Amino acid sequence: MNLKRGAPMKKITLAAGQFVVKNDMVSNKKIILKQIEQAKKKRAKIILFPECGLTGYTSGDQGPMENLTVKEVDDALKEIGDSAKKNKIYVAVGSCYFDKKKKKLFNSVIVYNDKGKKVCVFSKMGLCKGEMKYFERGTELPTFVIDGVRFGLQICFDVRFAENYRSYFKKDVHVVLHAYHQAGIPEIAAQRRDLIEAFQRVRSSENAIYTITSNTIGLNKGKDQWIPTMVVNARGDVIRKSAPGRTGIIVETIQADDILENIEMEIRDYSKKLLGMKTLGKRKIKGN
């Protein structure tokens, strides 16, 4: 299948899971496998899980792999890949990820296709200060395609870097999957929630890109969530949002070409004038 961004395409159903991500891989994995099955029953094509949703997240004194071996993580990821194959669904799961070629540990989102094959790995680029002593910084903005719809990936703090989303716009991406582990002191969360949600909505609007987020609930029944698990359309409107503190999934069917053509043309024309570009976003995309 060859499709240009903005050309007519079929609808696609997206899902995202949220739950209390613990430093307990067995517990996290059990919930992930259950939510994969729930997404399949809702006929979703892909489901996204939070940052380090499998292994658990920490940037404190205890390292993210303090009580885990690389083999244990690899075995758990294989189970998730097997579940993707069994349920015939794409799965994007956040996890600590040891790259055997680079011999480095990354904070990544690993994507398995509906045949259980690993098709994409994105590693967090905007590492927070507490993460730098554990993780290597990611340097690439990979994409993958489902039924002619091109996807990109981001993790948490990456939302503050508009250039990442603009790079995805240039790569003809329709949907960005953005995994978060953004939960903390409820009083601070209450102050920051509108800001972080606004960041996400602006990233969608300024690039005419759909985004779907998945965030941990935290330990205070969602009161400590800095951003909800949600779907944002290419206008920047929140069209689906999970209730704070509710373990479960959200599901939304989108038509990626509904408004992109006009908005995209305006962005494209202005970008060319501003940056002196002769061409922008002319690449074709091929189905897997």
**How crowded is the C-beta side of 260, counted as CA atoms within 13 Å?**
25
Flag whether pLDDT at 5 surpasses 70. no
Residue 74 binned pLDDT confidence (cut-offs 50, 70, 90): very high
What's the pLDDT score for residue 45? 98
Flag whether pLDDT at 275 surpasses 80. no
Note the pLDDT tens digit of each residue in 90-149. 999 999 999 999 999 999 999 999 999 999 999 999 998 889 989 999 999 999 999 999
Q: Which domains does the chain have, with CATH numbers?
A: 12-286 (3.60.110.10)
What's the pLDDT score for residue 3? 47
Mean pLDDT rounded to a whole number for the chain: 88
121 phi and psi angles, rounded to 5 deg = -135, 120
Give the span between the Cα atoms of 284 and 171, in whole angstroms.
Answer: 9
**How crowded is the C-beta side of 245, counted as CA atoms within 13 Å?**
7
Note the pLDDT tens digit of each residue in 211-238. 999 999 988 877 888 899 999 999 999 9
pTM exceeds 0.85, yes or no: yes
Q: Which residues contact 164 (CB under 8 A, 6 or more apart)?
A: 125, 141, 154, 158
Flag whether pLDDT at 270 surpasses 80. no
Note the pLDDT tens digit of each residue in 20-70. 999 999 999 999 999 999 999 999 999 999 999 999 997 556 677 888 999
